[in-house]
Amino acid sequence: MSMSTKSEPKYNSVMVALCDINGAFRGKRLPIDQVDKVFDGSLRMPMSAATVDVWGRDIEGSELVFESGDADGICLPIRDEILPSPWMGASSGFVPVCMYDENGAPHPTDSRHALAAVVARFAALGLRPVVATELEFYLTDLHEQGGIPSSEKFDTENVLSVQELERLSPFLDDVYAACAESGIPVDAAISETGAGQFEINLLHTDDPLRAADDAMMFKRIVKGFAKSHGHTATFMAKPYGDGAGSGLHVHFSLLNEKDENVFDDGSDEGSDIMRAAIGGLTDAMQESALLFAPHFNSYRRLRPNSHAPTTVAWGYENRTAAIRIPGGNNKARRIEHRVAGADANPYLVLAAILGAALAGIEGKTRAPEPLTGNVYEAGMPQLPLDWAAAIDAFEQGPIVADIFDPSLLQLIVQSKRQELERFLETVTKLEYQTYLEVV
């Protein structure tokens, strides 16, 4: 792979990283005189690095650790350039990579390759997904005791506040400038419901892999500049128990080989293909919930009447439903999938959504009836509202088994059970305060 900027003197070092199953970057720092190995295919990292748990620990029983001798794989860059990290100074570069086998084949447990496999299945049908993401996050300040996030510097529940956006203009200007330098297509920024909560939308692209790449880089940019402006940025699904949760909403449509939106048939209801895709999404929603809500904290967000979906349902212009069909021009007819939290891995989220839609289209699945009004009170099937149930549903799900490589699926299950076990064996301060001398 050629790379015209790799020898530019402005960079003294380069961080090389891949995205693990939890949506965290893992990698190594290289001096600039070693950067050639990133682009000539000689950079190696343990294949298990893409499937560690959220604390960076090996998964017990992983086939990629002792069973295989914890072998290395080849790491290749996903873009033919070094990306800037301006909050670290002009001399620090960044190169995102993904994992390949010794023979050059995509490693099946790399989450980016899982999405690529789904996109390839669409391409075989002459279809091209067009994807856009919306990411919510909180800017916080950390108390010294216990690392508890504080939003005291922000007004409470100040939705669409122009004052908050103006006050944070220096931070937002830096984020937008860094996104432009990295080719990330950012759109509007808004002040969200929670104190210190914001949302920035990324514009649509007909390359789902690039959409997920951009979401990952966007999160890194926001976190980097938050620190340089005296804050901490968090994409936790629910950092405050009494505050709004943060979501990763996904909008998508499908183009055919003539660049026509196949969800648009000229009607206000949308095409049969769109409704078949919705049928696939609703059929798979319970078993794929673990990828939309992958952590202990994720399930604090999925609560009734919280503006986060809790049931398997869809509707036109209905934000209480898990799947919303936005209004507007029929030519822009699309599906908005509202289940995922901002803490989820964008590659796995898009793979789960697009894979389920594809299953519905291929099977000509009949969608349930669209709902109006308050879907929370409609008596629809529930999403798994606890972590253990979501892990079981994912492990046993026939649709996700057709979307994901069995090795990746099993490693996700093992990782989440390992993560769950640590939380179950940790007694919280609230439990001691409540029970220690009472029961």
Q: Which residue has the tokens 């959504």?
A: 353
| Cα atoms in the 13 Å half-sphere on the side-chain side of 25 | 19
Closest to 200 (Cα-Cα) out of 129, 138, 112: 138
Q: 111-115, 121-125, 427-431: lowest mean pLDDT where?
A: 427-431
Q: What is the mean pLDDT of the chain?
A: 90
Q: With cut-offs at 50, 70 and 90, classify the pLDDT of residue 1.
A: very low
pLDDT at position 307: 82
Alpha-carbon gap, residue 415 to 423, rounded angstroms: 13
Instruction: Examine the pLDDT at 381 and tell me if it is beyond 70.
Output: yes
Given a contact cutoff of 8 angstroms between Cβ atoms, the answer to whether 264 and 271 are in contact is yes
E strands in 5-144: 13-19, 25-31, 44-46, 72-77, 83-84, 92-100, 128-142
Q: Would you list the DSSP string of 68-101?
A: TTS-EEEEEESSSSPEE-GGG-TTEEEEEEEEE-
pLDDT at position 195: 77
Given a contact cutoff of 8 angstroms between Cβ atoms, the answer to whether 155 and 195 are in contact is yes
pLDDT at position 67: 60
Give mean pLDDT, residues 46-50. 87
Instruction: Examine the pLDDT at 418 and tell me if it is beyond 70.
Output: yes
pLDDT at position 393: 98
Instruction: Examine the pLDDT at 190 and tell me if it is beyond 90.
Output: no
Calculate what percentage of the chain has a pLDDT beyond 90.
Answer: 75
pLDDT tens digits, one per residue of 291-338:
999 999 999 999 888 889 999 999 999 999 999 999 988 899 999 999
**Strand-pair partners of 136:** 199
pLDDT at position 48: 87
pLDDT at position 5: 44
Region label for 208, one of left (φ > 0), alpha (ψ between -120 and 50) or beta (otherwise):
alpha
Alpha-carbon gap, residue 181 to 201, rounded angstroms: 17
DSSP state letter for 370: P
pLDDT at position 168: 84
Give mean pLDDT, residues 362-379. 94
Ordered structural domains, the chain, with CATH: 13-101 (3.10.20.70), 117-404 (3.30.590.10)
pLDDT at position 194: 77
Given a contact cutoff of 8 angstroms between Cβ atoms, the answer to whether 88 and 11 are in contact is no
pLDDT tens digits, one per residue of 152-180:
666 555 555 677 778 888 999 999 999 99
pLDDT tens digits, one per residue of 55-90:
998 888 777 655 655 688 899 999 999 999 999 988
What is the model's pTM?
Answer: 0.93
Radius of gyration for the alpha carbons in the chain, expressed in angstroms and rounded: 22
